[in-house]
Chain A
Amino acid sequence: MRPRDWEPGQIVRPYGDRRDDGVVQLSFVLPVPPGERAREAAAELARKMGMDQVHVASMEPAAEQYTFFVVYGRTSVSVDYAALSVPEVVVRKKGFDELNEYALREVGRRMVVIGACTGSDAHAVGIDAIMNMKGFAGDYGLERYACFEAANLGAQVENAQLARVCKEREADAVLVSQVVTQRDVHKENARQLLRELERLGIRGRVTAILGGPRIDHRLAVELGYDAGFGPGTRPSEVANFIVGAVLKRMGKEMH
């Protein structure tokens, strides 16, 4: 265990020029033209945030009806450092390079990941955001990872065909996106893929992941999947999950 980097009862405050001076800097825009009233508004905002000795260091017109402020002040609040409750992180999420390097070393090969939007569903937006090179919100897609051999089969893929591809390519993971949820069509469709994987005798070898705007982990597990990811999921979260799952099947644990 690492030596403790804090003392019991230790109180911390922001450090500007001297210990515990509480200095913080802040920048924001107010939708008003610059002027003495605007300056006072900025200072008052900072005071309401708990700052005192407020100094509006800069007030500039960012456009005709907008003013940009840089504000300094001192906060009187502090934090009891020792008393913070920090939950133990079970699986540390690894960054892009770190995950690639770690996975290639620990798994010893590239993992095959197949993605598709199945059944009648033509909404490939979700699967594309997770799989495509470009990724989503600045987070690279699985195609970009050296540790994955990722193939996106696109939209309206039949479950039987998807299962066949998983078998032929010895997939480690299959990602299924379901956007259309009218009359629960997604649930039956999602179950059907698992039945196909079982029929081919490969369900145990493939980590099955379900995603979509109306999907959550609980629903996915109920349907028989290994994991479910809802809206806003980043490709890196899925990538880390897959590596962890593949290692688990190998009897290893992801550190």
Chain B
Amino acid sequence: MLLPDGRQVPDLPLDRAVVDRCRALADQVTAQVLEFVGRHSTVSIERTVLRLYGLHDAGPRGVPLVNLAVDALHEKRLLGRGAAYWMGYALRRGATDPMGVVERLVALPSSPEPLPEAEERAMLEEMRREARANVDELRARVRRRDALRDELGVGPRPHKYLIVATGNIHDDVEQALAAAQSGADVIAVIRSTAQSLLDYVPHGATTEGYGGTYATQENFRIMREALDDESRRLRRYVHLTNYSSGLCMPEIAFAAAWERLDMLLNDAMYGILFRDINMKRTLCDQYFSRRICALADVVINTGEDNYITTADADEAAHTVIASQFVNESFAHRAGLPDRLIGLGHSFEIDPAREDTVAREFAQALLVRTLFPEAPIKYMPPTKHKQGDIFFSHAYDVMADVVGYVTGQGIQLLGMMTEAMHNPFLMDRYVALKSADYVYRAWRSMGAEITFRPDGMVQRRAQETLREALALLEEVARDGLFRAIGKARFGDVAREEDGGKGLAGVLERGPRYFNPFLEIMEAR
């Protein structure tokens, strides 16, 4: 099969009718969820709206202004009208700066005196105008990012994705530049442990974090600017990614879009299953954050690879595929084109078994063939990694080969010290050097290899697709909420009203006002 970017991968014949049926079922699954999403908002969505209007700062004791404002509105049960409405109201009532807006919102009575009809109309129009201006400014920033990328060009696919995670943004910069110099195409700054469970975005540059570095707008700015300079020096554009997940999914999407990040991990299913975040909350948040990604041309990465770090990678292969169809449909419904949908999967079958490479080829090629235009993100092994770094290195190289030959879009490079500590500078170097060797050595093999019809690889891929179809039939029948309740993904069960963040979900009132959503949905 010839990929849109010109690479050739081995052909995998699939039953068109089965594939079409999978897509139709996934659309049924997401339609049910979107019906819920369309009637609700969340505190994090409303905070994002205020951020889009320019409320970036934090108040006394470091609490973000948007949290002060939205918490006050939510407490008074006013948020169903939309934070944008009340911001406009506060401006009409004399607020002149962000702090003034917040003070007025905090001081609102529980049933504020309505604005005169004509004034209200004028206010809504003004807020819409302001929203359009801010969206234009955001788009201009994105165009600057794209212009630099076009001017400098990018490395060959799959893009080599490397992680930094020192806890200190300034040390992260040093490590990121070193990785870029030795060939990294994408830098991911891992977040501090459990940031996903904070219901606010920390403010400013941070130098302390455990297991990673806080995602803050200022940290994003610092890293992107450093990478801009380095990209110019290297004459090769280096991408930056972070994590739009957890309780502040849409706010992080906004901060990342504004600071010109290129990609974001963005997957409600990950939060639901692995962070126990309430499903209603995070599916609403996911929709709005994906709308922002569509607006800002940010590639999303989904987290299906995580299912097979809990469940057995071979037995649960079909759950990855089924979830990818669902995630693709969610992404389409949020306005993301295929070129921005970086579906995730990984090389995780237990290496103690036989014929694992055939089965990994089957899976990787199946994903590639089902989603030919998507910049598929391929993850290296993690679950079966141990302290023997020499074996781990060989194991990672095997994943590089499968990823390269099957034409993946983004290759997260495995670290030989996975399962021991955050990557060292030399771990990244060794991984990059070996990946470059794989890319050189296997350069034309994707076009040379033909898998035997009815051989192990083709049969396994077709079998997985059939199982994915059966699972999608079940999920479409039960609904996504109930399917998750039955532990259909990652062997983890979560309840519809369980988990963190449900208190931050609210029904949109009949006159809900969100001009950014209006703009994004009309695009």
Contacts and interface: CB of A to CB of B under 8 A. Distances in A.
- Report, as a range, how many residues of chain A touch the other chain: 20 to 34
Contact of A132 (B181, B274, B429, B430): B274
Interface in A34-80: 60-66, 68
A172 interface: no
A205 interface: no
A28 B426 contact: yes
Interface string B391-420: 000000000000000000000000000110
A183 B211 CA distance: 29
B429 A62 contact: yes
- Report, as a range, how many residues of chain B touch the other chain: 20 to 34
Contacts, number: 61
A27 B193 contact: no
B149 to A, nearest CB: 22
Chain B CB within 10 Å — which of A60, A62, A65, A129 has the most?
A62
B139 to A, nearest CB: 35
Interface string A5-31: 000000000000000000000011100
A125 B191 CA distance: 14
A132 B276 contact: yes
A146 to B, nearest CB: 10
A63 B275 contact: no
A243 to B, nearest CB: 21
A133 B500 contact: no
Taking chain A's interface residues, is the majority helix, strand, or loop, or is none over half, making it mixed?
A: mixed
Given A129-B194, A134-B275, A137-B211, A63 B182 contact: yes
A224 to B, nearest CB: 29
A100 interface: no
Contact of B425 (A29, A124, A129): A29
A37 B161 CA distance: 33
A121 interface: no
A136 interface: yes
A11 to B, nearest CB: 26
Contacts of A27: 426
Nearest to A62: B429
Contacts of A29: 424-426, 429
B197 A152 contact: no
Interface in B171-214: 177-179, 181-182, 193-194, 197, 211
A142 B419 CA distance: 18
A66 B419 contact: no
A64 B193 contact: no
Contacts of B177: 63
20 contacts: A29-B429, A61-B182, A62-B178, A62-B429, A63-B177, A63-B178, A63-B425, A66-B178, A68-B426, A68-B429, A124-B197, A125-B194, A125-B197, A128-B197, A128-B275, A129-B193, A132-B274, A132-B276, A143-B492, A154-B500
Closest 6 CB pairs of A and B: A63-B178, A62-B429, A63-B181, A125-B194, A29-B426, A134-B274
